[in-house]
Amino acid sequence: MIELDVSMANDSSNNYLAGDICRYNYYITHGIDTEHIAPLDRSWIERVLALLAPRLRHNKDDLITCLIDEMRDDYLLSVKKAIIDFVLRDPRSDADALVRIQ
C-alpha cells in the first residue's frame, strides 16, 4: 500500500496530493470489477512453475497453490493499475510525444 508522511499533512497542497493518492488507490482496488479482466494465462503459470527446481515442487502442493494465488492477485492488481493509469493519463503528453517524434 501507499504510505504518507503525517508531518506533511499540514500543507494544503499536500492534503490535495494525499486525497489524490487515496482516490487513485480506491479506483485501483474498487473501481474495476475483476470479472472484466482477462484471467491469468495458464501457460504463464506453467512457465513460472517450470523455473522451480523439482525438489522444491515435490510434496509442496499447498505452497504452490498459495504461490499461484499470489501470482493471480498481483496480476489482477497490475492490470487494474495499468487500466487506471491509461484512463487518467494526460492526452497533452501524448501530443507532445508525437511532436517530438516528428
One domain, residues 96 and 60: yes
Torsion of CA 27, 33, 36, 38, to 10 degrees: 80
Q: Which tens digits make up the pLDDT trace of 46-57?
A: 999 999 888 888
Residues 39, 88 within the same domain:
yes
pLDDT at 69 over 80: yes
* Average pLDDT for 30-35: 88
Name the pTM for this structure: 0.69
Rounded-to-integer distance, Cα 46 and Cα 44, Å: 5
Largest CA distance in the chain: 58
Task: Note whether 95 and 51 are same-domain residues.
Answer: yes
- Supply the range of the domain harboring residue 5: 1-31
pLDDT, tens digit (0-9, with 9 covering 90-100), for 72-82: 999 999 999 99
Total domains in the fold of the chain: 2
Tell me, yes or no, whether 41 and 89 share the same domain.
Answer: yes
pLDDT of residue 12: 67
**Do 40 and 15 have their domain in common?**
no
Verify that 83 and 47 share a domain, yes or no: yes
